[in-house]
């Protein structure tokens, strides 16, 4: 093995082609920072007050809960009796001006551990020579993922280890050959009896027989172990990584990658780039490359790297839970990194918004644009303005200043908040955002205490809390009129298929009970939301359900080109008043169309009708559209099949994701203007151009649900769960949100199911508790370590009862001129949310292979910058990861294997689009789960305990023949049963004697009276309650065909449709990092 990896690295070279993050890659370069955005240079703050004085002010009744000292801030000096310290201004605040040395930070900080050297055993080292030869790697009975390759018909035979093909890496100079890190790593011994394809095809492996002397591996370094004391940076790997480098002669980027998978990489030109190219996956001629499926190339028994040695998400989750689970997180410290999104903790608002509302990619911004550019860590916040709060956390206080409305800075219009500093005896205040000094309105005057804090500090949420609401005055209402309560219109496609499948009846029956549960204002007896009903196929039917009618009346509009609403009075009604007529209608609808043979539908006119109805009623609201086919009837917005798999993996692939413009574009604008949100429930049996049909949803805060080949018996309950959740969601309408920042940086880009009419106002026809907007920030100027960076997110919206309100979320971040502070304060879950959204948006404009390249490059760049600037010196061969980002590569690799980015012709275009659009509106919790599913072992859990078993890593290796696992990612849920599952377990769960007796498409568990059955069903039902969407439980037996579906969620393994294993990816990234550092 070559020693060259140990050679001292030449100076760090920053400029790498294609490294420019999004600049170079994701389309148009971002506009230059606009200096002086806030007009004029930042003014200096007044000197901090001489010192915080203990001045307990008792909290008024009904006010925020008594301060509780944070378990997280023990190291921070307390300056008063109150842990709750909101400095009059950030500048003046002692606690805010010193970087928090919280437990968090400490933990996240220098906590760089030297991971060892397990990479060593990864050892591709059969060619390594001499002393570097590695000892036999740890082996386990669990199989490695086998090679994925072609040979058809090789189905069920066990793999034959072939000494020959072992660790063949790529032959050197051949580009296509150099791609092979995947090989050796993945070729572990097959599980006994597992079908992984036939005999290894040597020639097909990674480029042929290895060339002597080319070793990728190297021996582990004795004494280096994972558990070694933390050093700066987490280091993985060792010399063998050096060896890896040698396996990729020639370098990098657009070049042939070290990343292609055996069998796949060699087939076509498009596979040439490591990430740019199609990464493995089913190639033409290699259908279904999938372990366990026919077509696996048998790999030789491999020495393998102990997977436990590389950073794992489950471990990170478990550790964070152990540290912070069940504790209180007080938001009184600037720049404090919250516990992970996967940890259950209680938030106490003490001056900054709860992480449930805002999470950030880093809680310490670099002071300068140069530093930001240097590290390439995106600076972004993920804002979920309507996030649900657990019952033990106080709902937001509503502040009512009567006719005068909220107090705002004259210059930047920021709302009164804890970051305003009162001066001049309380007569004036200095804005924390723009530094402007404002007069305090007379009605708002209050004296200051010794700490220069208003004596009513604890009585006013807007002075002491991070999040609260203001009642908006008429100035904030359309036409200066108070809004009407919003309305829900249910619009049901009654064409032939929907009637025949029983869907229409299912919906009508459900609405009878569901409408009783419309969301209502806290304390209100009934919901103020009005309801209306439309059915349609080629024409639209409106219903008059006025309470005074004995029978509902139908009005038909067949002129779909000029949509209008034929009735005003009686169309949108109060459900309570019209219950009898509505019941009557819902009973009649399925019968009315029972004999229909109309199979064509319109679509755009349906949405148009909804908008017109809201316009006429002067209200906002939501359309619930239940639709099953492409709208082909002659009408505006008529669509035709434009699906074209030939575009996949070409520069024109983006066309598949782009919506048709014209009618739908205008419709989106109309909807947003009217505050009309569109939720789409799709029941397709084939392609229906979801990109276009769902376009309106994706701009109006809507959701898209999709049930392929819907059948009432197997999918009915799944759909109804979604519908129930959707109707009952906490939601606001006709919203407009603005994110203000303190001087020096500003929001520049926005990702979400929103509409941007200009560069600052985020228009949201509706926003519910699961929708998040990701906001990216750029520097305008230099940020100050003393004052930090402040955000204020203000959302003006209409409540479900028709009140106009302003919801305010404030957050203060640290700033540092040390990159180490930034890395310490990074949040991987948020970073990956940002990357997912930015890449998914870029899919509309760029070939996905470019995107993958950019993602990998930026990953390498962020980590290389850490290595260069923050980590303590170590061998170049070691992979050093910042503790806060140690599992970032797992997520990134998983992201690149998601349907929108994978470029496989096997994935339906509509499915890819659906995922793309769903993710654009997701918050951190949802993207985390989507990109790293929860895999829970159920076979050895304690059925009497309350808890849920700890998740295991998403890899085939974690499965066992006799095991039972539950996997879920927020969209899909599987119960996987090993082929050797004990009969009593099967009996207890399914009431059948063995696996063989299980019905093919079982999708639910029978209610059996035994502890295991109860426990499993309760775990499943808790998960279903917790997630925003329903998931259909799919039961798969090991080695059955449907198991393929399940395996694509084992994201640490090689992708089913292409994409590297985590281990390979890590090695590849490491190589890229090393190149950046040389
Ligand atoms: Zn201001």
Q: Using one digit for the tens of pLDDT, what is the confidence trace for 873-890? A: 888 888 999 999 999 999
pLDDT of residue 1036: 93
Tell me: pLDDT of 517 over 50: yes
- C-alpha of residue 358 to centroid of ligand 1, in Å: 21
Distance CA 886, CA 360 (A): 17
Token digits of residue 984: 């009593």
Fold classification of 494-729 (topology level): Rossmann fold (3.40.50)
The phi, psi pair for 806, rounded to 5°, reads -115, 125
- C-alpha of residue 214 to centroid of ligand 1, in Å: 63
- Considering all CA atoms of the chain, what is the largest pairwise distance in Å, rounded to the nearest integer? 94
- C-alpha of residue 432 to centroid of ligand 1, in Å: 7
- C-alpha of residue 473 to centroid of ligand 1, in Å: 20
Token digits of residue 361: 């990619």
State mean pLDDT over 997-1007. 82
pLDDT band at 195 (very low <50, low <70, confident <90, very high): very low
Burial class of residue 712, CB neighbours in 10 A (0-12, 13-18, 19+)? middle
State mean pLDDT over 967-973. 96
Tell me: pLDDT of 1029 over 60: yes
Burial class of residue 558, CB neighbours in 10 A (0-12, 13-18, 19+)? exposed
**What's CA 1027's distance to the chain center, in Å?**
13
Q: What angle do CA 322, 386, 320 make, to 5 degrees?
A: 10
In angstroms, the first-to-last Cα distance of the chain is 20
- C-alpha of residue 940 to centroid of ligand 1, in Å: 58
> Is the domain covering 408-466 a CATH 2.30.30.380 domain?
yes
- C-alpha of residue 429 to centroid of ligand 1, in Å: 10
Least confident piece of the model among 110-114, 445-449, 573-577: 110-114
- C-alpha of residue 415 to centroid of ligand 1, in Å: 8
**CATH 3.40.20.10 domain extents, the chain:** 933-1050
- C-alpha of residue 411 to centroid of ligand 1, in Å: 5
State mean pLDDT over 708-721. 95
Distance CA 156, CA 425 (A): 83
pLDDT of residue 947: 87
- C-alpha of residue 414 to centroid of ligand 1, in Å: 5
CA dihedral 622, 666, 798, 411 (to 10 degrees): 160
Q: What is the CA radius of gyration of the chain?
A: 30
For residue 891, the tally of other CB atoms under 10 A from its CB is: 26
**CATH 1.20.120.730 domain extents, the chain:** 827-931+1060-1077
State mean pLDDT over 412-430. 97
- C-alpha of residue 420 to centroid of ligand 1, in Å: 9
257 contacts 896 by C-beta, under 8 angstroms: no
Token digits of residue 631: 């709208």
Residues 6+ positions from 641 with CB-CB distance below 8 Å: 630, 687, 689
pLDDT of residue 644: 94
**What's CA 786's distance to the chain center, in Å?**
32
pLDDT of residue 876: 80
876 contacts 916 by C-beta, under 8 angstroms: no
State mean pLDDT over 1037-1047. 90
Tell me: pLDDT of 226 over 80: no
Least confident piece of the model among 70-79, 477-486, 976-985, 1043-1052: 70-79
Tell me: pLDDT of 994 over 80: yes
pLDDT of residue 305: 66
pLDDT band at 787 (very low <50, low <70, confident <90, very high): very high
1015 contacts 941 by C-beta, under 8 angstroms: yes
- C-alpha of residue 98 to centroid of ligand 1, in Å: 23
141 HSE (CA, 13 A, CB side): 5
Distance CA 309, CA 324 (A): 24
Nearest CA to 67 among 327, 452, 332, 356?
332
**CATH 3.40.50.410 domain extents, the chain:** 494-729
- C-alpha of residue 437 to centroid of ligand 1, in Å: 8
- C-alpha of residue 741 to centroid of ligand 1, in Å: 9
Least confident piece of the model among 168-177, 212-221, 602-611, 822-831: 168-177
pLDDT band at 87 (very low <50, low <70, confident <90, very high): very low
Tell me: pLDDT of 918 over 90: yes
- C-alpha of residue 332 to centroid of ligand 1, in Å: 22
Least confident piece of the model among 77-91, 822-836, 855-869, 942-956: 77-91
The helix (run of H) or strand (run of E) holding residue 510 is: helix 503-514
Q: What angle do CA 459, 460, 465 make, to 5 degrees?
A: 110
Matching CATH number, 933-1050, of 3.20.20.210, 3.40.50.10540, 3.40.20.10, 3.30.70.260: 3.40.20.10
- C-alpha of residue 470 to centroid of ligand 1, in Å: 18
- C-alpha of residue 635 to centroid of ligand 1, in Å: 50
- C-alpha of residue 435 to centroid of ligand 1, in Å: 6
Token digits of residue 790: 């402040």
- C-alpha of residue 105 to centroid of ligand 1, in Å: 31
- C-alpha of residue 476 to centroid of ligand 1, in Å: 19
- C-alpha of residue 782 to centroid of ligand 1, in Å: 18
554 contacts 534 by C-beta, under 8 angstroms: no
- C-alpha of residue 743 to centroid of ligand 1, in Å: 9
Token digits of residue 8: 């001292």
CA dihedral 68, 72, 75, 76 (to 10 degrees): -60
Distance CA 540, CA 138 (A): 67
- C-alpha of residue 43 to centroid of ligand 1, in Å: 12
Q: 1036: helix, coil or strand?
A: strand
- C-alpha of residue 67 to centroid of ligand 1, in Å: 28
Tell me: pLDDT of 58 over 60: no
**CATH 2.30.30.380 domain extents, the chain:** 408-466
pLDDT band at 1002 (very low <50, low <70, confident <90, very high): confident
pLDDT band at 304 (very low <50, low <70, confident <90, very high): low
Distance CA 729, CA 725 (A): 6
Identify which has the larger pLDDT, 119 or 777.
Answer: 777
- C-alpha of residue 87 to centroid of ligand 1, in Å: 17
347 contacts 390 by C-beta, under 8 angstroms: no
- C-alpha of residue 474 to centroid of ligand 1, in Å: 23
- C-alpha of residue 40 to centroid of ligand 1, in Å: 12
The model scores a pTM over 0.85: no
- C-alpha of residue 751 to centroid of ligand 1, in Å: 25
- C-alpha of residue 428 to centroid of ligand 1, in Å: 13
- C-alpha of residue 793 to centroid of ligand 1, in Å: 14
Architecture of domain 827-931+1060-1077: Up-down Bundle (1.20)
- C-alpha of residue 380 to centroid of ligand 1, in Å: 22
- C-alpha of residue 438 to centroid of ligand 1, in Å: 8
Find the DSSP H helices in 644-749: 654-657, 663-674, 690-693, 695-699, 712-728
- C-alpha of residue 287 to centroid of ligand 1, in Å: 60
Distance CA 104, CA 947 (A): 26
- C-alpha of residue 767 to centroid of ligand 1, in Å: 27
Q: How far is CA 653 from CA 656, 845, 910, in A?
A: 6, 9, 13
Token digits of residue 942: 């304690």
Identify which has the larger pLDDT, 60 or 363.
Answer: 363
pLDDT of residue 77: 35
Supply the mean pLDDT for the chain. Answer: 78
- C-alpha of residue 409 to centroid of ligand 1, in Å: 5
């Amino acid at each position: 093995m070559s020693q060259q990896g140990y050679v001292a690295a030449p100076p760090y070279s920053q400029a790498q082609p294609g490294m420019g993050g999004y600049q170079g890659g994701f389309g148009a370069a971002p506009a230059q920072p606009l200096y002086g955005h806030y007009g004029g240079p930042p003014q200096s703050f007044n000197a901090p007050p001489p010192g915080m004085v203990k001045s307990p002010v008792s909290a008024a009744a009904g006010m925020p809960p008594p301060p509780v000292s944070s378990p997280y801030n023990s190291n921070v000096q307390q300056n008063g009796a109150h842990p709750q310290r909101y400095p009059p201004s950030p500048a003046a605040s002692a606690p805010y001006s010193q970087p928090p040395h919280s437990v968090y930070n400490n933990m996240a900080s220098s906590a760089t551990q030297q991971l060892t050297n397990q990479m060593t055993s990864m050892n591709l080292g059969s060619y390594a020579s001499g002393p570097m030869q590695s000892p036999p790697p740890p082996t386990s009975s669990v199989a490695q993922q086998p090679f994925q390759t072609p040979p058809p018909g090789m189905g069920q035979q066990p793999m034959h280890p072939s000494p020959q093909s072992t660790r063949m890496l790529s032959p050197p100079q051949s580009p296509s050959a150099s791609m092979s890190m995947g090989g050796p790593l993945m070729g572990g011994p097959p599980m006994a009896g597992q079908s992984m394809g036939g005999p290894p095809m040597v020639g097909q492996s990674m480029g042929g027989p290895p060339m002597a002397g080319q070793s990728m591996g190297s021996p582990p370094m004795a004494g280096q172990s994972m558990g070694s004391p933390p050093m700066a940076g987490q280091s993985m790997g060792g010399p063998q990584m050096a060896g890896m480098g040698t396996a990729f002669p020639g370098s990098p980027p657009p070049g042939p990658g070290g990343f292609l998978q055996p069998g796949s990489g060699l087939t076509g030109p498009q596979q040439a780039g490591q990430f740019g190219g199609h990464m493995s996956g089913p190639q033409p001629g290699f259908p279904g490359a999938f372990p366990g499926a026919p077509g696996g190339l048998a790999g030789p028994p491999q020495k393998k790297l102990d997977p436990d040695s590389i950073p794992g998400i489950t471990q990170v989750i478990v550790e964070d839970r152990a540290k912070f689970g069940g504790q209180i997180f007080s938001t009184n410290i600037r720049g404090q990194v919250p516990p992970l999104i996967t940890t259950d903790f209680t938030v106490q608002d003490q001056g900054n918004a709860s992480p449930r509302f805002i999470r950030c990619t880093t809680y310490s911004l670099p002071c300068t644009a140069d530093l930001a550019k240097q590290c390439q860590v995106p600076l972004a916040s993920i804002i979920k303005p309507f996030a649900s709060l657990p019952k033990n956390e106080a709902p937001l206080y509503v502040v009512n200043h009567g006719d005068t409305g909220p107090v705002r800075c004259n210059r930047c219009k920021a709302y009164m908040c804890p970051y305003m500093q009162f001066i001049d005896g309380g007569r004036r205040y200095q804005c924390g955002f723009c530094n402007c000094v404002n007069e305090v309105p007379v009605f708002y005057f209050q004296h200051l205490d010794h700490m220069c804090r208003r004596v009513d500090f604890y009585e006013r949420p807007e002075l002491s809390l991070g999040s609260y609401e203001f009642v908006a005055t008429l100035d904030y209402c359309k036409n200066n009129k108070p809004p009407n309560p919003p309305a829900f219109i249910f619009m049901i496609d009654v064409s032939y298929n929907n009637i025949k499948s029983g869907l229409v009846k299912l919906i009508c029956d459900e609405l009878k009970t569901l409408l009783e549960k419309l969301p209502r204002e806290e304390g209100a007896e009934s919901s103020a939301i009005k309801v209306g009903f439309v059915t349609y196929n080629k024409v639209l039917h409106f219903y008059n359900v006025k309470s005074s009618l004995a029978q509902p009346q139908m009005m038909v509009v067949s002129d779909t080109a000029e949509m209008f609403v034929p009735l005003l009075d009686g169309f949108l009604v109060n459900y309570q008043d019209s219950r009898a007529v509505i019941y009557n209608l819902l009973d009649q609808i399925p019968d009315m169309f029972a004999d229909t043979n109309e199979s064509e539908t319109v679509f755009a006119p349906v949405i148009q009708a909804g908008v017109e109805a809201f316009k006429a009623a002067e209200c906002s609201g939501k359309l619930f559209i239940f639709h099953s086919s492409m709208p082909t009837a002659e009408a505006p917005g008529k669509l035709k099949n434009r699906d074209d798999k030939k575009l996949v993996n070409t520069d024109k692939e983006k066309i598949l994701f782009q919506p048709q413009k014209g009618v739908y574009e205008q419709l989106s604008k109309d909807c947003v203007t009217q505050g009309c949100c569109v939720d789409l429930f799709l029941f397709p049996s084939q392609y229906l151009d979801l990109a276009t049909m769902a376009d309106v949803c994706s701009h109006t805060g809507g959701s898209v649900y999709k049930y392929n080949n819907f059948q009432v018996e197997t999918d009915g309950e799944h759909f109804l769960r979604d519908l129930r959740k959707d109707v009952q969601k906490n939601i606001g309408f006709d919203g407009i949100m603005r994110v203000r920042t303190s001087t020096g940086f500003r929001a520049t880009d926005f990702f979400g199911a929103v509409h941007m009419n200009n560069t600052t106002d985020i228009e949201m026809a509706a926003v519910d508790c699961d929708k998040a907007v990701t906001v990216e920030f750029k520097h305008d100027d230099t940020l100050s370590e003393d004052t930090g960076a402040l955000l204020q997110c203000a959302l003006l919206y209409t409540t479900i009862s028709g009140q106009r309100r302003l919801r305010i979320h404030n957050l203060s971040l640290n700033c540092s001129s040390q990159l180490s502070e930034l890395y310490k304060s990074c949040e991987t879950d948020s970073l990956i949310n940002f990357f997912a959204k930015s890449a998914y948006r870029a899919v509309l404009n760029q070939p996905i292979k470019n995107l993958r390249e950019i993602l990998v490059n930026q990953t390498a760049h962020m980590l290389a910058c850490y290595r260069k600037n923050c980590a303590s010196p170590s061998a170049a061969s070691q992979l050093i990861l910042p503790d806060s980002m140690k599992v970032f590569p797992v997520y990134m690799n998983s992201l690149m294997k998601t349907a929108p980015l994978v470029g496989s012709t096997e994935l339906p275009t509509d499915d890819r689009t659906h995922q793309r659009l769903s993710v654009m509106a997701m918050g951190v919790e949802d993207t985390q789960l989507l990109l790293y599913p929860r895999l829970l072992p159920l076979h050895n859990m304690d059925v009497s305990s309350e808890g849920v078993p700890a998740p295991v890593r998403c890899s085939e290796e974690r499965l066992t023949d006799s095991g039972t696992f539950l996997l879920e990612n927020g969209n899909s849920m599987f119960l996987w049963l090993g082929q050797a599952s004990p009969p009593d377990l099967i009996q207890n769960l399914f009431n059948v004697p063995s696996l063989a007796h299980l019905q093919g498409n079982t999708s639910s568990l029978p209610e059996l009276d035994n502890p295991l059955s109860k426990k499993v069903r309760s775990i499943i039902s808790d998960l279903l309650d917790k997630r925003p969407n329903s998931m259909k439980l799919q039961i798969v037996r090991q080695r059955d065909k449907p198991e393929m579906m399940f395996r694509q969620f084992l994201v640490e393994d090689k992708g089913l449709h292409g994409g590297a294993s985590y281990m390979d990816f890590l090695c590849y990234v490491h190589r890229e990092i090393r190149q950046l550092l040389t």
